[in-house]
Amino acid sequence: MRKMLRALRFRKLITGVYTKRFQKYGRQPSGVYWSDKDRQLSRFSIILNQVAAVLPKGSVSIADVGCGYGALAHHLRNGVNSDYIRYHYTGYDINPTLIRACRGAPGIPSKQFKLGDCPSEVVDFSVMSGTYNMSVTRDLDHWETYILDCLERCWRYSRHGMVFNLLSADYSYISEGMLYHSNIHNIRRYCRSNFGATRIIREARLPSDATLVVVR
């Protein structure tokens, strides 16, 4: 019960933090705490490349958990689909303000965006880009418990796997700016023990990042 109440409090705090940020900066990377568009798109490319490596052909359904203002949806709309793979996208976020912004944007059907912290139906892959980087507590154990609980819920609805990124460091900590940095090897061990085979992907262009690919 205590853990459940703490998770509810975290969701309320997260919603408040992101609402203020989005109201200040609007529909752009800085509006959801991304440092710049190039880094945002680089993370999207890494995630989609890993999904395509597992399912290289046909239709692939993905749940974008923590979709923000729908940047990944528009990235997909702008030409990622090919003759070999076609993505069927649904975006989820716990923030009603952001979901309303997604539904009001041109070009993407509003029904593709839903309120929630995990998929509401089974998809091929759950993906999360930057979803867990901004902490709303200084308590590292509580924040990591919250993240792992969210991953567990997403895993239940992921037919083939999950792909998500985290800020990575030699040891886990929460910075003065409330950014969560993970000991990525500890997260990998948890995923391997509780979910499925897990790989760590690193890219030289994003030295502080690690992407985890978890497959059944």
Q: How many domains does the chain have?
A: 1
How would you write 4-22 as a 3-class SS string?
A: HHHHHHHHHHHHHHHHHHH
Q: How far is CA 170 from CA 83, 186, 187, 209, in A?
A: 41, 10, 12, 12
Which domain, by its residues, includes 148? 2-215
Q: What is the CATH number of the domain that holds 147?
A: 3.40.50.150
Amino acid at 147: I
Per-residue pLDDT of the chain in tens (216 residues, 90 and over written 9): 788 899 999 999 999 999 999 999 999 999 999 888 999 999 999 999 999 999 998 999 999 999 999 999 999 988 765 667 889 999 999 999 999 999 999 888 999 999 999 999 999 999 999 999 999 999 999 999 999 999 999 999 999 999 999 999 999 999 999 999 999 999 999 999 999 999 999 999 899 999 999 999
| CA–CA separation, 203 and 64 (whole Å) | 21
| CA–CA separation, 163 and 127 (whole Å) | 5
Locus of tokens 């568009």: 37
Dihedral sign (CA 28, 32, 35, 39): negative
CA 2 to chain centre: 25
| CA–CA separation, 152 and 140 (whole Å) | 18
| pTM metric for this prediction | 0.95
